């Protein structure tokens, strides 16, 4: 039996997908939020992305965590670990191993929107760490922070650079909600991708093998399956572009010819002009000073900022 606490059931998910699709596809320019990439196929495609030679974030973050895990355990003495947007929990094991070796950790709570991915992770971790209380929470990290379990000296890990999927206003709201869910002295371990030469960033989001293109188009398949839409997935081209002003990468899907799409369950018809683009994701890149300012505005303090030798990615240890 898997220990899962459900704050987001299939009906809530269906409702928020419908709202997002109506809002995004009737807007100018059109957009869809990146959280809808991750059905089973989308999650598998993301796993494939993490192994691409061009996609540096995952392996770079893993290297930083490998080097710093024992120090993180020493500095924090964390008794409980909560992981937001955990997905597959490969990097989590680095933290769990270090915190358990240090001797303070008693509980682990992964929170994710995908109950399937979460159930699998909880089963695997329960088996691997018999002494640890592992309990999954199915929830949306922008809405269910109040449901992270109460406890003493908790650390929340939000890794992978996923915070970059939020626009600055959403980030401010997320950080202040998270701060409100923590007591002074508790911890946030945050992974952020860093600003760098676009010649490195752009290929990470537009790989030669076309895996990211397939991942991007998957959001159309999700809308087709879940809402009975008739997107011709192959009629949309993958676009990754660096927005130098906002310092984020933007993924879009460009209609290669004029398209009329019908979304049956919403009774909605949407027209795309030839060349029209649909924004599917932003992935913001950070600088230390900017991150520190955002954290300060949410009453968090940056204690450690660890990067790899090339300065590609950062893992920050932050205190409430
Ligand atoms: C999982 C959100 C961190 O923004 O780099 C990978 C998702 N998008 N390739 C990222 C993603 C395109 C990824 N995050």
What spacing in Å lies between the alpha carbon of 81 and ligand 1's midpoint?
23
Among left, alpha and beta (phi > 0; psi -120 to 50; other), residue 247 is left
165, 171, 196, 284: which to mutate for ligand 1, most atoms within 8 A of CB?
A: 165
Q: How far is it, in rounded angstroms, from Cα 158 to Cα 224? A: 30
Atom nearest to 240 CA in ligand 1: 12
What's the whole-model pTM score?
0.96
Q: 281 a known binding residue?
A: yes
DSSP 233-293: GGGEEEEEEEETTTTEEEEEEEESS-EEEEEGGGTEEEEE-TT-EEEEEEEE-B-HHHHHH
Each residue of 180-202: pLDDT tens digit? 999 999 999 999 999 999 999 99
Do the bridges between strand 107-112 and strand 80-84 make them parallel or antiparallel, or are there none, so unpaired? parallel
Residue 168 CB coordination number (10 Å): 12
Q: Is 65 annotated as a binding residue?
A: no
Q: Where are the alpha helices (DSSP H) in the chain?
A: 10-25, 40-50, 56-76, 90-102, 115-128, 168-181, 198-204, 211-227, 288-297
The residues, ordered by sequence, that sit 6+ positions from 293 with a Cβ below 8 Å of its Cβ are none
Distances (CA, A) of 96 to 150, 181, 317: 19, 22, 16
For atom 1 of ligand 1, which residue has the closest CA? 162
pLDDT for 167: 95
> Which residue's CA is the nearest one to ligand 1's atom 8?
205
* DSSP label of 32: -
Report the pocket of ligand 1 as residue ranges, CB < 6 Å.
Answer: 49, 57, 160-162, 164-165, 205, 212, 281, 283
Ligand 1 centroid–CA 162 distance in Å is: 7
Structure confidence at residue 120 (pLDDT): 86
Nearest CA residue ID for atom 2, ligand 1: 162
Note the pLDDT of residue 1: 54
Is 129 assigned a ligand-binding role in the annotation? no
Residue 169 CB partners (closer than 8 Å, separation 6+): none
Residue by residue, pLDDT tens for the chain (320 residues) are 567 888 888 888 899 999 999 999 999 999 999 999 988 899 899 999 999 999 999 999 999 999 999 999 999 999 999 999 866 667 899 999 999 999 999 999 999 887 877 888 899 999 999 999 999 998 888 888 888 889 999 999 999 999 999 999 999 999 999 999 999 999 999 999 999 999 999 999 999 999 999 999 999 999 999 999 999 999 999 999 999 999 999 999 999 999 999 999 999 999 999 999 999 999 999 999 999 999 999 999 999 999 999 999 999 999 99
Residue 189 has what pLDDT?
Answer: 98
Beta-bridged to residue 268, according to DSSP, are 263
pLDDT, one tens digit per residue, over 206-221 is: 999 999 999 999 999 9
State phi, psi for 92 to the nearest 5 degrees: -60, -35
Q: What distance in angstroms lies between residue 200's CA and the mean position of ligand 1's atoms?
A: 15
Q: Is 96 in contact with 126 (CB distance < 8 Å)?
A: no
């Amino acid at each position: 039996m898997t220990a899962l606490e459900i704050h987001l059931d299939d009906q809530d998910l269906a409702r928020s997908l419908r709202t997002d699709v109506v809002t995004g596809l009737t807007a100018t320019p059109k957009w869809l939020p990146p959280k809808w990439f991750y059905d089973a196929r989308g999650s598998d495609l993301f796993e494939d992305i993490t192994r691409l030679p061009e996609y540096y974030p995952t392996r770079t973050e893993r290297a930083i965590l490998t080097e710093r895990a024992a120090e993180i355990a020493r500095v924090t003495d964390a008794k409980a670990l909560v992981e937001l947007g955990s997905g597959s929990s490969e990097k989590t094991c680095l933290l769990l191993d270090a915190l358990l070796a240090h001797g303070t950790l008693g509980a682990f709570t992964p929170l994710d929107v995908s109950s399937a991915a979460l159930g699998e992770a909880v089963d695997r971790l329960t088996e691997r760490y018999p002494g640890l209380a592992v309990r999954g929470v199915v929830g949306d990290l922008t809405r269910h922070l109040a449901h992270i379990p109460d406890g003493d000296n908790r650390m929340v890990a939000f890794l992978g650079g996923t915070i970059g999927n939020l626009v600055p206003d959403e980030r401010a709201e997320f950080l202040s909600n998270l701060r409100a869910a923590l007591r002074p002295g508790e911890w946030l371990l945050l992974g952020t991708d860093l600003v760098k030469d676009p010649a490195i960033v752009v290929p990470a989001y537009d790989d030669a093998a076309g895996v990211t293109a397939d991942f991007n188009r998957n959001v159309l398949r999700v809308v087709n399956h879940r809402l009975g839409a008739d997107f011709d997935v192959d009629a949309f081209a993958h676009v990754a572009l660096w927005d130098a002003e906002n310092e984020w990468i933007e993924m879009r899907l460009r209609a290669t010819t004029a398209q009329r799409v019908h979304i049956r369950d919403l009774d909605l018809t949407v027209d795309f002009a030839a060349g029209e683009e649909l924004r599917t994701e932003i992935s913001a890149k950070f600088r230390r000073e900017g991150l520190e300012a955002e954290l300060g505005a949410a009453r968090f303090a940056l204690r450690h900022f660890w990067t790899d030798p090339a300065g590609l990615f950062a893992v920050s240890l932050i205190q409430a």
